[in-house]
Structure 1
Amino acid sequence: MSVLQAAIYLRVSGRFQAGPDRFGLASQEHDARTYAARLGLQVARVYVDQITGVSSDRVQFQQLLQDAPAYSAVILGVQDRLARDVPLSYAMLGALQDAGLKVYSAGEGALDLEDDSSALGFGIRAVIADQERRRITKRMYGGMLAKVRSGRPARTINAFGWRDGQVDPEQAQWVRWIFERLESTGLTNVAYELAERGVLSPTGLPQWRRAQLVKMVHNPLYIGRYEFGRKGERVSTPVEAIVSEEQARRTQAMLRTRRKEQGRPGAKTAVLQLQGVVRCGECGRVVTTTPVRVRADGRQVAYYFCRATLRAEGATCDHRTYYRMDLLHDVAREGLQQLLSSPTLIQGAVEDLTLPEQQQRRVQADLERLDAQWERWKGALRIGAITPEELATERRRIDQARAALLVTPERPVIDVQAWRDRVGHAVASLPLNEALRAAGITVLVHTGGRVTFRIRA
């Protein structure tokens, strides 16, 4: 007679509790293995999540649910390792039972929502765990407030420009550069310049986001004021400043001015008339621009280029031509007039609903997961964990899921005359980029400067 297979599920609140010098995981696993031996179960695998007890985003727990057909039971070290939040505790236990698993806790025994006494005990312990979590959180928060009031940061400062609580000279010079540069250059261009210079973002990635720059400019930490606390009870303490308050005020004022001027004549969105509606016809990635420069004669000049050619983006596209702003605008306008004059061109430009390459890869990954599930179900049948009838049910479910993933939508048909009237009115009354956006048109720039259009029906 084969021994029934079981899994162990463990959780600690973070990676600092999971190190080799910590005993939380080892203790949980020892208790769970001892309990499994008493029940005559063989532990096949241990699943470990390093996450707080109130978060449902658990990779290993989801993997356990996928692998559930291979096991007869799952064992916890103690119930509150499942969760320290009452609704989440019930949801997770229910998910395990719905997957066909018996659930045990080495500390409390069987956990079964179908059994009245077991469900009552489970609920009481869940409430106690939740109350304890709230008390711990409140004590920690109060302690951090007191720490800041005494003149020390609540946590070690590791924002961009700091390292282990001290100002990092190398990053600090880039902080000052960012504040100064934003006085004369827009957020997007500063983000590109940082990436081109090889400066890693606060998240350690080569690409900078506009939101990261805005957050930095408005963070009081950079002018020497550390703040902590919830809204209405924030406290602060002085720290070493990286930029002056005057510099921060100038930069913030410039950002506010640019925000107010968006869309007005002379603003970037008015000058770069294809901004936000143009993509590379070769790789499908975003087409961006160089900074707008003003010549001696007052003429504004900039160039469009494929963002995927940047080193910071991996330089994955070979479409490296830079297209002068005014020339590309003229080509796009001429092409749009040709499009509006031809019903055949309009219907041919309607977006093909074939999945893009990235989404195709996701579908392929989902298909592979379904194949892996089927193999696990067959394995469960071989060890006697399920019946042939149950296997047939799962086969039908998996086949239905595969069929849904493989459905290819048909290209939509639009009312050409109504579309032409609507777009013609938009082109006549709106700036070019706003008209294209309102009409659902994307401009595709191909090698050599050829322009085509894609219509989202």
Structure 2
Amino acid sequence: MEEFSACGVEVIFINHTSGDTPEEMMLLQIQGMFAEYERGKIMERNRRGKLHGARCGNVGVLSGAPYGYRYIRRQSDGTPAQYIVNLHEASVVREIFSWAGIEHLSLGGVVRRLAEKGIESATGNPVWDRSTIWGMLKNPAYKGLAVFGKTKNCAPRPRVRAARNSADILKNGYSVIRNKPDDGIVIPVPAIINSALFLTVNEQLEENRRHARQGRRGAAYLLQGLTVCGHCRYAYYGKKVSKSAAKGGAQYTYYHCTGTDAYRFGGIRVCDNKQVRTSMLDETVWTQVVALLSEPERLKKEYEQRLTQVSEHSGQTADAERLKKQENQLNVGRSRLIDSFAEGLIDKTDFEPRIRVMTLRLAELERQRAKVEQATESQRDLLLLVNRVEDFAAAVTERLSTDDFLMKREILRALVKRIEIYRDEIVVVFRVNPGNDTSLETGSDKTSGRSLPDCLRSKSPCFSKLRT
């Protein structure tokens, strides 16, 4: 409430009026504490209830019915929730499993067969996505055994770059991964296919994965995972030109914007950005990285500047130990104040404002101490980087002339944050400030209007070829 008031925001309660007296403020804080406690208890009871329902075979704990079924909610007369087979969709599911397991079609072949028959997806899309087909073929519910708990939360996993229209930091602070098949709880549901066909299909998927060229471990393109469209913010991916479309029989590869694929968006493109030749873009970005590493003083200067900024903004006068000592003293005083009020040594009019001031002061000290500890940790990491940056540059410089694909990718991922591709230029965003260069000039971010000091817009002759 104090933070809202400091920002000039008025909070209006519908069920009661709020005042500024100490008694009303204390009542509001008590209600907030009980509401937070009750929220945690509700979440805990919800988890326990779902787990108990899954063990009892209740399909109501599942998030919804997959394609081929219709979910019927629990009725008022006590009839439990259930899955009802949708006959039309179930026939499509049987055809998909038959094509994949008996005719040995790939995921792409199944998608093309569905498009030829004019069968739309559950969302009305005329073109099915391969990931949707894969999820259906891996779903054990179709053989009569739905699984509760197929995924679980874990610590945030490292990402090369943030997803489209999302922040660099995960909103919920965790990542979602798949559980092992035996870790889930099986719930019986009506079967659409038999277990033998389901097993055959999954064996075929594993066989396709082993023999598919896409199944090779590692990236197939040098800048894979780093390129992003500067207009629609979808990722660029590597794509080979078909032999029939290649001029002169030569095989070319391009970085292609995902937003230009009409089949992904119901037959309508969401972006018209151009594709970029992989060889030319790889050469341009690698040339800039080599120029950056050839002068390790730039790297050291950048990290020293960041170290200075961290020292200035961290409030060096605020010592974590001193703040911790003040917290302990306030906690002792708060405990004594509560004991005095319980024993009747002070009355309510004196107790309420004093306990409120102590609570606010404790919260402020906790925020300051957390900020100081975070700044100290950042300063320690940056100091370690400054001391080792010359050794890093020297070790990497020896390998700049290498043709090792994996080595080049590791160097690029260590120094390049992302590569934004526009219609008439390419912006390389480094993790450090490369400084000024005759063939490169700094600019501002087109999309957000923010100044990006570590961003380079390519004006090199090589990029002039890319624009044509």
Which band: TM-score by shorter chain?
Answer: 0.3 to 0.5
TM-score (norm 2): 0.40
With the length of structure 1 as denominator, give the TM-score of the two structures: 0.41
